[in-house]
Amino acid sequence: MDLEVDIITTPKGFHCNLCNTNVPNKPSLDEHVKGRKHRTLSTVRATRRAQEERSVFVSGFPKDASQAQLTQYFQQFGPVAEVIIDKDKGVYAIVQFSEVDSQLTALSQLVHDMGGMRLRVKPREKKGFKLVDKKNTGVKNQEEFLERLKPALGQAETVNEQMQCVVERLQLAENKRKARELLVQLIQEVFTEFFPESQVLPFGSSVNTFGIHSCDLDLFLDLENTKTFQARAKTSTEPVAETSSDDGRSEDSILSDIDLSTASPAELLELVATILRKCVPGVHKVQAVTSARLPVVKFHYRALDLHGDISINNRLAVRNTRFLQLCSGLDARLRPLVYTIRYWARQKELAGNVGGPGPLLNNYALTLLVIFFLQNTDPPVLPTVDQLKHMACEEEECVIEGWDCTFPSQPIAVPPSKNQQDLCKCLGSSGLLAAFFSFYATFDFAGNVISLREGRALPVTSFLSQARKVPQEEEEKNAMEEEQPRKPHNQQAPKLGSLNVLDPFELSHNVAGNLSERSQHSFQRECQEAEKYCRSLQYLRKSTKGKPWGLVRLFAPHGQGPKKLDGSVEMSISIPFKPALLPEVLRNQLQLAGDGFRLIWFQKVCAAMVQVFQNVLKCRLGSFTESAPSGDAGHAAVAPGSCESMETSSEELNTSSDSGIAGPGSPQSAAAAAAGSKRRLSSSEDGDASSSPQDKKPRLGSGPKPGTPCWTWTQTHAVWAGRRKVRRELIKDAADTRPEGSNMALEVQVTDHIVEKEPPVKVPLVFKVQAKLVGNTQSTKVLLKVHPPSEGKEHFRDFFHFLEVFLPKMVDTLMEKGV
Ligand code: UTP
Three-state DSSP state, 533: helix
Say whether 321-481+489-554 and 2-123 share the same fold. no
Q: Are strands 306-311 and 217-222 parallel, antiparallel or unpaired?
A: parallel
Residue 317 Cβ contacting ligand 1 at under 6 Å: yes
Please choose, from the candidates 598, 582, 525, 570, the residue with its C-alpha nearest in 3D space to the C-alpha of residue 773: 598
- The Cα 694–Cα 673 span in angstroms is 35
- The Cα 579–Cα 690 span in angstroms is 25
**What distance in angstroms lies between residue 143's CA and the mean position of ligand 1's atoms?**
24
**What distance in angstroms lies between residue 275's CA and the mean position of ligand 1's atoms?**
25
**What distance in angstroms lies between residue 139's CA and the mean position of ligand 1's atoms?**
21
Backbone angles phi and psi of 479, in degrees to 5:
-60, -40
- The Cα 342–Cα 436 span in angstroms is 12
Sign of CA dihedral 253, 259, 264, 265: positive
Residue minimizing CA distance to atom 13 of ligand 1:
215
Residue minimizing CA distance to atom 21 of ligand 1:
204
Residue minimizing CA distance to atom 24 of ligand 1:
317
**What distance in angstroms lies between residue 741's CA and the mean position of ligand 1's atoms?**
43
Taking the model in full, what pTM does it have? 0.58
Residue 309 Cβ contacting ligand 1 at under 6 Å: no
DSSP secondary-structure letter at 442?
S
Residue 628 Cβ contacting ligand 1 at under 6 Å: no
Which three-class secondary structure string do you get for 238-299? CCHHHCECCCCCECCCHHHHCCCCCCCHHHHHHHHHHHHHHHCCCEEEEEEECCCCCCEEEE
- Atom index in ligand 1 nearest the CA of residue 509 equals 28
Instruction: State the pLDDT at residue 143.
Output: 66
Residue minimizing CA distance to atom 12 of ligand 1:
363
Residue minimizing CA distance to atom 15 of ligand 1:
204
Three-state DSSP state, 766: strand
Count Cβ atoms below 10 Å from residue 30 Cβ, excluding itself. 12
Give CA separation, 566 vs 507, 529, 563, 569, 570, in Å.
42, 11, 8, 9, 11
Contacts with 479 (C-beta within 8 Å, 6 or more apart), sequence order = 291, 292, 293
Q: Which residues of the chain have pLDDT under 50?
A: 1, 134-137, 240-252, 467-488, 560-568, 631-702
| Architecture label for domain 2-123 | 2-Layer Sandwich (3.30)
pLDDT tens profile 412-460? 999 999 999 999 875 556 799 999 999 999 999 988 999 999 999 998 8
Residue 529 Cβ contacting ligand 1 at under 6 Å: no
**What distance in angstroms lies between residue 206's CA and the mean position of ligand 1's atoms?**
10
Three-state DSSP state, 8: strand
**What distance in angstroms lies between residue 506's CA and the mean position of ligand 1's atoms?**
14
pLDDT tens profile 282-298? 999 999 988 777 899 99
**What distance in angstroms lies between residue 351's CA and the mean position of ligand 1's atoms?**
12
Could you tell me which CATH number the domain at 321-481+489-554 has? 1.10.1410.10
Instruction: State the pLDDT at residue 576.
Output: 82
**What distance in angstroms lies between residue 372's CA and the mean position of ligand 1's atoms?**
16
Residue 56 Cβ contacting ligand 1 at under 6 Å: no
Break the chain into its structural domains and give their ranges. 2-123, 321-481+489-554, 572-630+663-677+706-817
Backbone angles phi and psi of 727, in degrees to 5:
-60, -45
- The Cα 346–Cα 354 span in angstroms is 10
Contacts with 368 (C-beta within 8 Å, 6 or more apart), sequence order = 450, 452, 501, 503, 504, 511
Residue 313 Cβ contacting ligand 1 at under 6 Å: no
First to last CA, the chain: 42
Three-state DSSP state, 585: helix
Instruction: State the pLDDT at residue 777.
Output: 60
